[in-house]
A and B are shown apart, each in its own frame.
Chain A
Amino acid sequence: MNTMADRVSGLFFMALGLAMYFWINPNYIETVDGGNISPATLPNIISIILAIAGAFIAIKPTDHQLRNPVLMAKTGLYVTLLTAGIWAMSWFGFEYVAPVLALALMWLIGERRPLWLSLGVVAMPAIIWFLVTQLLGRALP
């Protein structure tokens, strides 16, 4: 029985709960005088619950199995790509980034057929551009 996954996640949530309660909540929530419920009350209660439940999982883990690490690594690759896409959009705008991002995504998935590639890289961003800016009169990111 492999209990690593639950021990790791349990410890994480315990640490998160403790950090929230002792450090983040006191520093990032204002105190007010008067009122019926202080802004920190609920976050503090939740943080304690989180810490206790996390500790419980770490001590008494189930045999939950993690997803295949290779798949998780691949997901990390896609997340990096999307992050780069958002960052690039903030500089150059959707119009220029979307086709490049679509091409990178489709290429990574393994798509090589020119028809599908052109549909995804040229047609789709163009359709979105037309619908959003021309039909709806809204701004693209």
Chain B
Amino acid sequence: MKLTTKLMALATSAVMALASPAFAEDWAPDGPLTIQIGFGAGGSTDTMGRVLAEVMKKNTGWNIVVENKPGGGGVAMFTGLSQRPVDNKTIGMGVSIPVLVQLVQRGDQLPFDTDSFDYLGTVAKAELALVASKDAPFDDLEGMIAYAKEQGSLPVATMAPPQVLMMNQTKSTTGADFNLVTADGGAEVMKLILGGQVMAGFGSGEHYPYLESGDMKVIAGANQSRLSYAPDVKTFIESGVNAYVDPIFFLAMRAGTDPAAIEAISSAIDEATKAPEFAKIVQNAVKGDPINMGTDGTKQMMVDGLANAKILFAK
């Protein structure tokens, strides 16, 4: 086990040694590259972003600075990014769904759209789950809806607008009533559930330790397909609510960036997503493997995602 890891590392570094001079010749940033993360420190995006930056730094020798720019599920950061002058060295890292939903909901008020960026690649897919305390008197979404109807209403914690929309969809499909409590992030959702202030809430990874310890249980998967770590749990769609989100962690730069820079940075990202130490962090953060769709794939993902979000989340 140990030996194979070492061999892998050796092999990767050998590949890198061959690969890195190639793009170092073509292009190098003048000054430090900045990766702006659309979420606060300590979350899964932050952790992956920081390690990604570190691996890229090691591979390329570029200086990379990581900054946190939280707010609105990454919308604040992407808004800022779209308003910056093109400098060929500022990269944004965020999650697709919150951005897409904001574009659908208030696209006319936001100063950017999917064309405002040049896409560099993706890092991983997030699995979003609705979880509840182990003592909750229901085990799946149907049970929860029935319980909400019986009680009159049920408090549920959300952390971003897409989840609010999913719960609203649930409300209008089933007629059950939910009190939606907006939390500052996954960690706060967990606190509200553990403290008994809400019955259920959304987690995008923060709940893993509590599943392991048996303090919480998964009620429903919020992605299109079932959760990889809880294959027996039905999704929202399977429970009769036609809504899902497939959040993907991606990186982008301001549109109009020098194509040579895009080329060099995106291949550095691709290189980094293949590194074993990065795979380990992704496994910790989202319980899945790194996924890189490449520059064109990422753009396609955003365009398709927007069309999809329009159908799912149009007002």
Whether A138 pairs with B65 at a CB distance below 8 angstroms is yes
A139 lies within 8 A of B109 (CB): no
Question: How far apart are A5's CB and chain B's nearest CB, in angstroms?
Answer: 39
Asked if B225 is at the interface of the complex by the 8 Å CB criterion, the answer is no
Scoring B residues 29 to 42 as 1 if CB is less than 8 Å from chain A, else 0, what string do you get?
A: 00110100000000
CA distance A34 to B168 in the complex (A): 10
Q: Are A137 and B109 in contact (CB under 8 A)?
A: no
Kindly identify, within residues 108 to 141 of chain A, every residue whose CB is under 8 Å from any CB belonging to chain B: 137-139
Q: In the complex, are the beta carbons of B31 and A30 less than 8 A apart?
A: no
Within the complex, what minimum Cβ distance (angstroms) separates A42 from chain B?
14
Most A CB contacts (10 A, CB to CB) among B31, B34, B109 go to B31
Contacts of A139 in B (CB 8 A): 31-32, 34, 65
**Could you count the A-B residue pairs with CB atoms below 8 Å apart for me: how many are there?**
12
User: What residues of B have a CB within 8 angstroms of the CB of A137 in the complex?
Assistant: 32, 63, 65
Mask for B106-124, Cβ within 8 A of A = 1, else 0?
1001000000000000000
**Which A residues lie within 8 Å of B109 (CB)?**
30
Residues in A with CB closer than 8 Å to B63 are 137
Interface residues of A in 78-133 (CB under 8 A from B): none
Q: What residues on B are CB-neighbors of A30 within 8 Å?
A: 106, 109
What residues of chain B lie closer than 8 Å to A138, measured between beta carbons?
32, 65
CB-CB nearest in chain A for B89: A139
Q: Contacts of B65 on A, CB cut-off 8 Å?
A: 137-139
Question: Residues of A contacting B106 with CB < 8 Å?
Answer: 30
Which B55-69 residues have a C-beta within 8 angstroms of A? 63, 65
Interface residues of A in 10-36 (CB under 8 A from B): 30, 34
Closest to B57 in A: A137
A32-74 vs B, Cβ < 8 Å mask (1 yes, 0 no):
0010000000000000000000000000000000000000000
- CB-CB nearest in chain B for A34: B168
Query: Who on chain A is nearest to B181 by CB?
Result: A36
In the bound assembly, the distance between CA atoms of A138 and B34 in angstroms comes to 9
Q: How far is the CA of A41 from the CA of B65 in the complex (A)?
A: 38
Closest to B168 in A: A34
B:124-178 near A, CB below 8 Å? 168
Bound-state Cα–Cα, A139 to B63, Å: 10
**In the complex, which residues of chain A have a beta carbon less than 8 angstroms from the beta carbon of B34?**
139
Residue of A nearest to B179 (CB): A36
User: Which chain A residues border B168 with CB–CB below 8 Å?
Assistant: 34
Give Cα A137–Cα B32 distance, bound, in whole angstroms.
Answer: 7
A85, B38: Cα distance in complex, Å:
31
- Give Cα distance in the complex from A5 to B35, angstroms: 48
Chain B, residues 41-85, CB within 8 Å of chain A (1/0): the string is: 000000000000000000000010100000000000000000000
Name B residues whose Cβ lies closer than 8 Å to a Cβ of A: 31-32, 34, 63, 65, 106, 109, 168
Q: What would 12 A/B residue contacts be, using CB atoms closer than 8 Å? A: A30-B106, A30-B109, A34-B168, A137-B32, A137-B63, A137-B65, A138-B32, A138-B65, A139-B31, A139-B32, A139-B34, A139-B65
Known: A30-B106, A137-B32. 10 other contacts (CB 8 A): A30-B109, A34-B168, A137-B63, A137-B65, A138-B32, A138-B65, A139-B31, A139-B32, A139-B34, A139-B65
